[in-house]
Chain A
Amino acid sequence: MAPFGYAGDAGVATLIGLAFGIVLERSGFGDSRILTAQFYLHNMRVLKVMFTAIVTASLLLALGHGLGLVDLAGIWVPPTHLWPGLLGGFLLGVGFLVGGYCPGTSLVASATLKLDGLAFVGGLVLGIVAFNAATPALLDFWEHSGHLGRVTLMDATGLSTGAIVLGVVVLALSAFWVAGRVERAARRRRRGPVPSGGRLT
């Protein structure tokens, strides 16, 4: 598919990437300490930014569809491969906490000259090479295990798109309320010096 022609697609992808990189950097996601603070509860930017982004984009998609401006059938939905996705998600969480980044954020850290970010990107390449080497052995599991295809939360529950989007919004607002309380409590408990004498406020 090349809606803008070959060079046009490359240009659009570059511009989207540019905006993505700027937003990630301004979110504080080029700093592994801020990213991992999510899991030590004293700074929940990861949850707030991600969940707000998901709510914003899904509301706009639903709205655009309702107004007849966006054809949802033309939007790519990542297909569900249940077990590889579940195991991959678990391992990505392990890599995140051990390495301090996820792939996209490590690119931003590298672009701002963070040596831990560059090391993580180097690791990513090695991990991709390792997966490629393991592909012949994993192929059957990777392609067929729990392969359900294009399944949305609407398909899975039988609920309407509106009901699911509303549910996601309510879930997000509840998560933000809980995150705010947990964050404040965790910060009160943290009395020791924070890295380089700085304090998360």
Chain B
Amino acid sequence: MIDDRAYWNPYVAGVMLGLVLFAAFVLTGGGLGGSGGLARVTSELTAAVAPAYVRTHPTLAAQVGGANAAWGHPMVFMTLGVLAGGFLSGLLAGRLKVETRRGPQLSAARRVGFAVVGGIIAGFAARLARGCTSGQALTGGATLSLGSWIFMGFVFFAAYVLAYPLRRLWN
């Protein structure tokens, strides 16, 4: 059951998120990230499976091993923090429960299938754009980056364009 009142008032939540974002700028000089840590871990896993492929790769080669190893990268720690924070908050709110969140017309199995497909598209997109809703939209939005505002506009544009054709997924 969706109960909107179970969550923080959105404007209060927004101020809190803004404070976290500001703290990130002041303490690290950079902003927030949602996909960068995952990309770093993926690079390391790829290097473990296919070291020769990574050594000759134009962007991965510089990302793995030694001082650049994902296991020491701040983005990876931020990702671990996000997981821990989500877990803690869910636990305290009684929302820690194995379930599949889906539209009323979609079976759980189909919902999981669409989630994988959407994840693949989003993973590719976040690398292409050099960031996602966190690293581009929030971070670049607050620092008034031209490219990040254009990025954000196109995220919303695409989702609104697809909302009607894909209405059975969510309604």
Mark A residues whose CB is within 8 Å of B: 1, 3-4, 6, 9-28, 30-34, 36-40, 43-45, 48-58, 60-61, 64, 70, 74-82, 84-117, 119-132, 134-136, 138-139, 142, 148, 150-156, 161, 164-165, 168, 176, 193-201
Contact = CB atoms under 8 A, between A and B. Distances in A.
Contacts of A25: 85-86, 89-90, 93, 95
A31 to B, nearest CB: 5
Interface residues of B, number: 129
Most chain A C-beta atoms within 10 Å of own C-beta, residue among B5, B38, B146? B146
A56 B15 contact: yes
Nearest to A165: B144
B10 A103 contact: no
Given A26-B13, A127-B119, A195-B104, A14 B125 contact: no
23 contacts: A17-B85, A20-B78, A23-B17, A25-B85, A31-B101, A56-B18, A56-B22, A57-B142, A80-B145, A88-B151, A91-B158, A95-B118, A98-B162, A99-B114, A99-B115, A103-B38, A104-B32, A107-B83, A111-B82, A123-B116, A129-B46, A197-B1, A200-B2
Contacts of A152: 143-146
A93 B89 CA distance: 27
Contact of B17 (A43, A53, A129, A194): A53
Interface string B1-15: 111111110110111
Given A20-B78, A39-B160, A154 B144 contact: yes
Contact of B23 (A11, A16, A161): A16
Nearest to A78: B140
B133 to A, nearest CB: 4
Nearest to B81: A17
B4 to A, nearest CB: 5
Given A13-B28, A148-B146, A155-B146, A103 B35 contact: yes
Contact of A127 (B13, B72, B125): B125
B104 to A, nearest CB: 5
A23 B85 CA distance: 8
Interface in B89-105: 89-90, 93, 95-104
Contacts of A196: 1-2, 104
Contacts of B58: 135-136, 139
B34 to A, nearest CB: 3
A198 B3 contact: yes
